[in-house]
Amino acid sequence: MINRDSITHDLLDRDGSCRDINFGERINKTGATGIIDFLASEWTLTQAMSGDGEELALLALPKFFDRAPGTLSTIWHGNKDPNYLQVFFSWSVPAEIFCELTFFPEHLNETQFMLEDFLAFVSKLVCASGSSEYYVRYENASWRHGDVKTNAGVIFSHENFMLPNS
Cα distance between residue 103 and residue 105, in whole Å: 7
- pLDDT (tens digit per residue) in 84-134: 999 999 999 888 999 999 999 999 999 999 999 999 999 999 999 999 999
What is the pLDDT confidence band of residue 54, given thresholds at 50, 70 and 90?
very high
Q: Where are the alpha helices (DSSP H) in 1-142?
A: 4-12, 29-42, 61-64, 115-129
Per the CB < 8 A criterion, the answer to whether 98 and 28 are in contact is no
Q: What is the pLDDT of residue 165?
A: 75
Q: What is the pLDDT of residue 145?
A: 52
Domain spans, the chain: 4-157
**pLDDT of 2 strictly over 90:** no
Q: Please determine, looking at this structure, whether the domain spanning 4-157 carries the CATH number 3.30.310.
A: yes
- pLDDT (tens digit per residue) in 64-91: 999 889 999 999 999 989 999 999 999 9
What global pTM score does this model have? 0.90
Instruction: Considering only the C-alpha atoms of the chain, give the largest distance between any 2 of them, rounded to a whole number of Å.
Output: 44
Cα distance between residue 80 and residue 85, in whole Å: 10
